[in-house]
Structure 1
Amino acid sequence: MPSKTLIESADRNLSIRRASEFGLKATAEGVDVRAIRDRKRVLIDDFAGYRQQQLMDGRFTLHRGYAEFVDAHTLKVSPRDGSAAFEVQGKTFCIATGSVPNIPPIPGLQETGFWTSDEVLDAESLPESFAVLGGGAIALEMAHYLEGIGRKVTLIQRGKQFLTGFDTECSQVVEQAYQHRGIVCHLGTHIHRVTTKDGGKHIEYRHGEEEVSVTVDEILVALGRKPASGGLNLEAAQVSLHKEKVVVKPTMQTTQPHIFAAGDICSPLDVVHVAIQQGEIAARNAHRLIQGQLVNEEADYRLLLFGVFSHPQVASVGASEADLEKAGTPYVSASYPFNDHGKSMCMGETDGFVKMLAHAHTGEILAGICVGPHATELIHEVVVAMHYRSRVQDFLTIPHYHPTLSEIWTYPAEGCADQLTEECE
């Protein structure tokens, strides 16, 4: 919520900058970063305050402190206020410590100093230029926000595409759109060192076969996050880790059956709605365990949903083509561009496309990808269809109002239907 609140301000400013395209006369009279920050604080205080009330309304015993396992049934808690440590025992536990920013071991970075998204989200003023390190969701969203409110941005990504694991076309659309806005995008890089130079922060790196450098006011490290599993003394509880993430079964049980985990600490995808689902499953299964019942509720990641609030936005649901090929699942795919779609053309938002994957024999929709206007909203039409295991043949019978963004999904659905084998007819 904090980042999306700031991004909303950037989106509005982009609309003002493009006003003349729509026959309007409007100019931005500057950006008040403190006012943007204050609006974010009001909204987040409201959300957080409600959750805090729930935790302190008498239904729970709440301890504020740092916990570590003494053994599989005992925690040592060191209170945040500095008072004496104490122990807590339990029949079940749930580890939900989340994640922390991932900071790479780049020579000179620690000495020179840097920001993470935490600093950007609560800054009352912002430097004029940034180098954003990374090419995932956080990096793309922060680059969009910073450029959207008038800052000069250079994106430096180690990999050869943005959003590793997504279709390369997704990366290409975002890269072209960002470059059109004036964001310098350097992919396939290797950073040698960070130093100070001429009062700024100087980054030396290889871009392809070329040695380049950039001097900026601030460096934003946005290389994702890593599980906050340190300091828990999980060995004492015989809870296993894999690459710093807690190992869990679909029931959200760890390698110690009465200890559960949920959220970024163990998730295949670090997003809020998945963490909520995991937490609810863990709680219900913990209750079953205490009651002596069968622990049998499992997390289902068939509808694994992901969204990036860049501009254009990116969203996906379901299996990737690589996953389907690895599993040997026969599939067909079809896509359709926004630059040939009526509503997006009216909106002046023509970057991107939608893509649908379907089972080659049954026609069941297996995945959807959207890069373009309101992608994080549009993807839910495919999510609902997949929830009910809709086939592309069924999807095509659903009426879509014209002109709307949503109707663009009918084109790849028709394209997939045309490729199905005869046994589907």
Structure 2
Amino acid sequence: MEKMTYPDSVRPFCLRGCKEGNDRYDLVVIGAGSAGLVAAVGGARMGAKVALIEKGLLGGDCLNSGCVPSKAVIASARRAHLLKTAKDMGISSGEIVVDFPAVMSRMKAIRSRLSANDSALRLLSEGVDIFPGNGMFDSPRSIKVGEKTIEFTRAIIATGSSPTVPAIPGLDGVDYLTNKNLFDLEELPESMAVIGGGPLGCEMAQAFARLGCSVTLLQRANRLLPKEDAQAAGLVRKSLESDGVKVLLGVQVTSVRVEGDGTVLAYRDGDVDGDVTVKKVLLAAGRKPNLEGMGLEEANIAYDESGLTVEKGLRSVSNERVFGAGDACLSQRFTHSADMSARICLANAFLPFHKSFNSVPMAWCTYTSPEVARVGITVDQALEQGLKAKEIRVPLEEVDRAVIEGWDKGFLKVVVGRGGKILGATMVGEGAGNMISELTLAVSKGIKLGDLSWVIHPYPTESSVFRRAADILNSRRITPVVRMGMQLWMALVSKFKDKAQKEAERAAKEAAKEAAKEAAKAEREAAKEVLEEKHEPEALPEGNEKVDMLKK
């Protein structure tokens, strides 16, 4: 297969602003990833004069080396898995052959197709001036790109993040993979070691295992997905292991070395040393913000190793003209959080009211099989914050559609506070990422969990799990005291109804008697009138007619 290339549509090029000599802008955006593109286009649509600076590819990691390519590979791996397990549904599919070059070719085609949304031509059509190159601040209100200096009224730093390279002896001598070059692979590796058990590590370990690669995942923590629910992480581990992934938890990689045509990773598991030999090594040990070489000190922009230092509205704490968006300042590094942060920046930069990023409920999903979707906080986090909270759990084996599809190895957990307020939720199951949005909306709009009992969900759908959770909460509110009160009330109502019914029956009988009397009376009067008509004498004729009659 030919080496992977990127579509020309996402290569930034110089038109308008950088050629015409414009040097003053209402808004300058540095970085053309998810956050930067939303900020640039949104600012232009608001009427601002916008410049966008990008030294790499338009679309950032999401389009080129993150969400889009990874989910395309996962989709192919899922199809392969469904074919391999089709016999569980009574279908014989025969031998399954994975054409890895075709998998990567499909991924490339999808990336090219979606690139139109992030293309230079689209940005130019929206009125955004593009400046290819590295943007560097040279004062609190100006940025230098190459030999050109442009001044700004507001600036948004949206430079994204890069993979963290752990300090492992010998790693620098290995041709390791990160998300930056993983999707340039032309052939499926025979074996692979994945360092890191977070979302990326779990997703890629499972996907490549399903495509036929022998995968070993090494995780320093004692469980996968440390930021997620422990039971959710346990289900993901079982699923990975069932797909053939060797999962090593609580281990530390101590060294890496090349040996023959393979790579040897030495690790320590407590007091025991071990090693694994593989063809490829994938680093999935976290990310760091891209802030180097930007001259932030020249613009009095505060930052640390975790990113820009910003207040709740994402404005720099030390330069009020500058905002941060996306991975450059957020701890929640997702495409959708980058998108929302850009919207918050625009609102606070140009509109008279203030919006806080912390006020927006954040949802996310790890796209393993089963998926792990989350919104808000866990019950442990709620208790740590001093909140009174409880957890409602619904296993998917109680959801008819999940049983029908064979996807019943999962659950829904909803964290509720006072009055049934939804504080957060975790869902584990196929399609959980698509379904969590119902609870995200509920959290965002203050809809209580109990209210979902009155929401109709088509049957059979997996989303009925939310109504099931609401029913469980409502049933828990019926304590013995409440039940006793309800029984007393129902007895009183029943007694009142019995008395009212007897009174109604008596009144009906009286009314019937009166009606019968009236009917009889009317009948007698009618008969009397008939008799009177029969015995009434004939009237005598008058005048001559009367005399003639008497003579006769």
TM-score class, shorter: over 0.9
SS of the aligned residue for 1:161 comes to coil
- The 3-state SS of whatever aligns with 1:121 is helix
Write the distance in 2 (CA, Å) between the matches of 1:109 and 1:39: 31
Provide Cα deviations, 1:97-155, integer angstroms capped at 9, x if missing partner: 00111111111111122111222223221211110011111111111210121111111
Q: How many residues align?
A: 413
* Structure 1 residue aligned with 2:194: 132
Matched, 1:272 2:335: yes
Match 2:388 to one of 326, 330, 333: 330
Can you give the 5+ residue segments of structure 1 that lack an aligned partner in the other structure?
Answer: 79-84, 289-293
**How has the CA–CA distance of structure 1 residues 55 and 28 changed in structure 2, closer, same or farther, with 3 Å as cutoff?**
farther
How far does residue 236 in structure 1 lie from its aligned partner after superposition? 1.2
- Local SS of the residue matching 2:149: strand
Residue 70 of structure 1 aligns with which residue? 138
1:109 corresponding residue in structure 2:
171
**Contact residue 234 and residue 240 of structure 1 kept, 8 A:** yes
Q: Which is further off, 202-211 or 258-267? A: 202-211
1:16 partner letter: L
Following TM superposition, the consecutive aligned residue runs of length 4 or more in structure 1 with deviations greater than 6 angstroms are 421-425
**Corresponding residue for 1:391?**
448
Q: CA deviation at 1:213?
A: 0.9
Alignment of 1:25-424 (within 5 A): 25-52=92-119, 53-57=121-125, 59-78=127-146, 85-255=147-317, 256-288=319-351, 294=352, 296-359=354-417, 361-419=418-476
CA distance, structure 2, for counterparts of residue 142 and residue 353 of structure 1: 23
What's the offset of the Cα at 1:157?
A: 0.7
Q: Could you say if the C-alpha distance between residues 16 and 305 of structure 1 is closer, same or farther in structure 2, counting changes exceeding 3 Å?
A: same
* Equivalence for 2:538: none
State the secondary structure of the residue aligned to 1:267. Answer: coil
Provide the secondary structure at the position in 1 that maps to 2:426.
strand
Contact kept, 8 Å, 2:69 with 2:183, in 1: the verdict is: yes
Q: Which amino acid aligns with 1:114?
A: Y
Q: 1:81 aligns to what?
A: none
424 and 176 in structure 1: CA distance in 2 versus 1, 3 angstrom threshold: farther
> Radius of gyration: which is bigger?
2
How far off is 1:208 after superposition?
Answer: 3.7
The C-alpha deviation readout for 1:79-112, integer Å capped at 9, x for no partner, is: xxxxxx2212111111000011111111111112
- The separation in 2 between residues aligned to 1:63 and 1:71, in whole angstroms, is 18
Cα distance in 1 for partners of 2:270, 2:396 equals 31
Aligned partners of 1:229 and 1:244 also within 8 Å: no
Sort the Cα spacing of 1:420 and 1:76 in 2 relative to 1 into closer, same or farther, 3 A: farther
Output the aligned Cα RMSD: 2.0
Q: Which runs of 5+ in 2 are unaligned?
A: 1-67, 484-552
SS of the residue corresponding to residue 35 of structure 1 reads helix
1:23 to 90, 99, 105: 90
Distance 2:99 2:443 in 1: 43
> Which whole-Å deviations, capped at 9, do the CAs of 1:1-32 have from their partners, x for residues lacking one?
22111111011110000011111111354222
> CA–CA distance in 2 between the matches of 1:325 and 1:420?
21
Determine if contact 2:84/2:96 at 8 Å carries over to the other structure. Answer: no
Give the secondary structure class of the aligned counterpart of 1:202. strand
Provide the rounded CA distance (Å) in 1 between the counterparts of 2:144 and 2:287: 26
Displacement, 1:158? 0.8
Give 1 or 2: higher helix fraction.
Answer: 2
CA–CA distance in structure 2, aligned partners of residues 154 and 250 of structure 1: 41
Secondary structure, aligned partner of 2:420: coil
Match of 1:354, as an amino acid?
A: L
Query: Structure 2 vs 1, CA of residues 208 and 44 (structure 1 numbering), >3 Å: closer, same or farther?
Result: same
Name the CA shift for 1:220/1:279 in 2 (closer, same or farther; >3 Å).
Answer: same
Preserved CA contact (<8 Å) 2:379 2:390: no
